[in-house]
């Protein structure tokens, strides 16, 4: 073999080796890629399985969290529920008062304190793989379904069944013109203008007969009571029954045996809860100077609008408050009204939602509760909605008819009740005798109130107490009881799941 032939043969063998090595390399690369792909696919499959397991853990946690809220043993808001679901699986659930999606401008922002946000995170991991863990979060919002109010004290219905209630046996001196529409409950002897005015029994009878005549003939009804008037019969004299039944045309009922309401200070710890396990709210202390004040409840910090004063409380002019106003203490914790344009309004709480409850009847706490007296001074002009309660006296001072204007749309309850005479009616005995001698011979006793009006004694009442325009259920909060409690048939609170979101961004 020549040298050139040997060289060509060696060259071919070298090329063949290269081709073989190249093919081996390609085969190894293909095999590596295949193995890598299979490994990645297996890893993806395992991770997908972990994420699915984490989501399943979160779903299980949500169901468990809602069930926990509806049990008697729920720990409440601002707590965390943690539970293992088996090897590598668990969940954590937190409960927070409110709903971040509700804004102050929203029509249903008042629902904020009755909602709870649940943040549930489910976890899944492979015990044999270090660092292998997936998580999934669900955010849900639940709303309280009110089913029962906390129990109220004995005698509470005696107050809430009447527009005008003397809850304890104090004094009652009521001088016309005033007007109470709806049921009246009195425990003491009724003094109906007798001690305050110097008129005779005949003049009083003519006046009350005239008021009833006006009512029966389509004129304004200015009678002091529309009835029924419920009294302890043993405390009354025959003249009182004659005035009420015959002269004014109202009905009377004996209530001698009805149970008494026993006063107990509400919100004694100055904090409150809406429901067991709910957020603890602090009552708001009223400023010392209320002139020009405009106060409202805050669904985030004081949803019931509880406003408290431990000193004597005075209402000057131009005060507007929506909520419940309380004074606490003893004989110095009275409430005095002095100025004009005072407006007090209650807060409507969610109604009961169970078959035995009247449909869509709002719940209200009292609008004004005085631990001592409530006194309307000369010149006070106030418009109040809801229930007004005094532990001792409810008094309207003497004043000119146009000076003191009081409108209560709801209910009033007190121990002692006194409505003083209007200045125009402060006439001497001799003046009334002259009037009687002039009027007695006539047959027009029905027009006696109109004639007095001509003489400057206006019979149209400026002090009025009228029932609510719709059905309301009033609630008395005892001590530190929550407002709503579990219904006996439920075992725990009821909640409605409003929404839930998978893996929320915020």
Q: What is the DSSP string of 26-87?
A: HHHHHHHHHHHHHHHHHHHHHHHHHHHHHHHHHHHHHHHHHHHHTSTT---SS-EEEEEEET
In this structure, the answer to whether residues 70 and 191 fall within a common structural domain is: no
In this structure, the answer to whether residues 322 and 405 fall within a common structural domain is: yes
pLDDT at 411: 97
Phi, psi of 360 (to 5 degrees): 55, 40
Place of tokens 């405009």: 294
pLDDT value at 399 more than 60: yes
Place of tokens 């005798």: 433
In this structure, the answer to whether residues 316 and 463 fall within a common structural domain is: yes
Binned at pLDDT 50, 70 and 90, residue 381 comes out as very high
Binned at pLDDT 50, 70 and 90, residue 429 comes out as very high
CB-count burial class (<10 Å; 0-12, 13-18, 19+) for 85: middle
In-domain check, residue 6: no
CB-count burial class (<10 Å; 0-12, 13-18, 19+) for 24: exposed
* Short-list 170, 190, 169, CA closest to 180: 190
pLDDT at 348: 95
In this structure, the answer to whether residues 363 and 439 fall within a common structural domain is: yes
In this structure, the answer to whether residues 106 and 167 fall within a common structural domain is: no
In this structure, the answer to whether residues 171 and 204 fall within a common structural domain is: yes
Binned at pLDDT 50, 70 and 90, residue 255 comes out as confident
* Short-list 389, 395, 412, CA closest to 264: 389
In this structure, the answer to whether residues 137 and 96 fall within a common structural domain is: yes
In-domain check, residue 224: yes
pLDDT at 13: 59
pLDDT at 22: 61
pLDDT at 96: 97
pLDDT value at 99 more than 90: yes
Beta carbons of 161 and 171 less than 8 angstroms apart: no
In-domain check, residue 164: yes
List the domain range (segments joined by +) for residue 75: 53-147+490-502
Instruction: Name the least confident of 56-60, 129-133, 189-193, 347-351.
Output: 129-133
In this structure, the answer to whether residues 136 and 207 fall within a common structural domain is: no
98: left (phi over 0), alpha (psi -120 to 50) or beta: left
pLDDT at 210: 92
Say how many domains are in the chain: 2
In this structure, the answer to whether residues 211 and 288 fall within a common structural domain is: yes
In-domain check, residue 38: no
Which pair of structure tokens corresponds to residue 115? 């909602």
Which pair of structure tokens corresponds to residue 497? 């799941």
Beta carbons of 180 and 164 less than 8 angstroms apart: yes
Distance CA 119, CA 221 (A): 60
Binned at pLDDT 50, 70 and 90, residue 238 comes out as confident
The reported pTM is 0.86
In this structure, the answer to whether residues 441 and 318 fall within a common structural domain is: yes
Binned at pLDDT 50, 70 and 90, residue 364 comes out as very high
In this structure, the answer to whether residues 422 and 351 fall within a common structural domain is: yes
């Amino acid at each position: 073999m020549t040298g050139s032939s040997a060289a060509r043969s060696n060259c071919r063998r070298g090329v063949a080796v290269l081709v073989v090595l190249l093919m081996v390399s390609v085969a190894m690369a293909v095999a590596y890629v295949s193995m890598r792909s299979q490994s990645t696919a297996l890893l993806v499959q395992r991770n997908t399985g972990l994420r699915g397991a984490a989501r399943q853990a979160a779903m299980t946690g949500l169901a468990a969290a809602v069930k926990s809220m509806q049990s008697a043993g729920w720990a409440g808001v601002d707590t965390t529920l943690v539970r293992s679901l088996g090897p590598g699986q668990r969940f954590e659930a937190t409960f927070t008062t409110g709903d971040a999606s509700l804004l102050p401008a929203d029509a249903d922002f008042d629902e904020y304190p009755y909602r709870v946000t649940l943040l549930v995170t489910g976890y899944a991991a492979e015990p044999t793989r270090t660092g292998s863990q997936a998580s999934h979060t669900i955010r849900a919002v639940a709303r309280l379904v009110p089913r029962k109010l906390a129990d109220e004290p004995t005698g509470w219905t005696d107050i809430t069944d009447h527009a005008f209630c003397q809850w304890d046996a104090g004094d009652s001196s009521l001088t016309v013109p005033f007007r109470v529409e709806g049921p009246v409950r009195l425990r003491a002897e009724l003094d109906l203008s007798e001690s305050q005015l110097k008129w005779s029994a005949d003049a009083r009878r003519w006046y009350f007969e005239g008021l009833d005549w006006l009512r029966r003939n389509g004129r304004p009804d200015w009678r002091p009571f529309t009835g029924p008037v419920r009294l302890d019969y043993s405390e009354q004299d025959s003249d009182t029954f004659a005035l009420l039944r015959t002269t004014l045309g109202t009905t009377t009922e004996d209530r001698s045996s009805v149970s008494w309401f026993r006063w107990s200070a509400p919100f004694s710890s100055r904090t409150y809860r809406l429901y067991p396990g709910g957020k603890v709210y602090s009552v708001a202390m009223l400023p010392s100077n209320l002139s020009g004040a405009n106060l409202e409840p805050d669904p985030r910090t004081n949803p019931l609008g509880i406003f408290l004063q431990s000193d004597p409380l005075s209402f000057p002019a131009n005060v507007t408050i929506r909520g419940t106003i309380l004074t606490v203490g003893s004989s110095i914790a009275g409430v005095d009204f002095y100025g004009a344009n005072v407006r007090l309004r209650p807060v409507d709480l969610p109604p009961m939602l169970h078959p035995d409850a009247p449909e869509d009847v709002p719940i209200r706490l009292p609008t004004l509760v005085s631990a001592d007296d409530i006194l309307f001074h000369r010149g006070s002009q106030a418009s109040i909605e809801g229930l007004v309660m005094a532990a001792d006296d409810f008094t309207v001072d003497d004043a000119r008819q146009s000076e003191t204007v009081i409108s209560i749309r709801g209910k009033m309850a007190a121990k002692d009740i006194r409505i003083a005479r209007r200045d125009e009616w402060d006439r001497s005995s001799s003046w009334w005798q002259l009037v009687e001698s002039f009027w007695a011979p006539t047959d027009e006793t029905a027009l006696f109130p109109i004639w007095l009006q001509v003489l400057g004694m206006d019979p149209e009442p400026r002090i009025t107490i009228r029932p609510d325009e719709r059905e309301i259920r009033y609630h008395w909060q005892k001590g530190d009881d929550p407002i709503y409690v579990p219904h006996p048939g439920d075992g725990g609170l009821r909640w409605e799941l409003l929404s839930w979101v998978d893996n929320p961004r915020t």
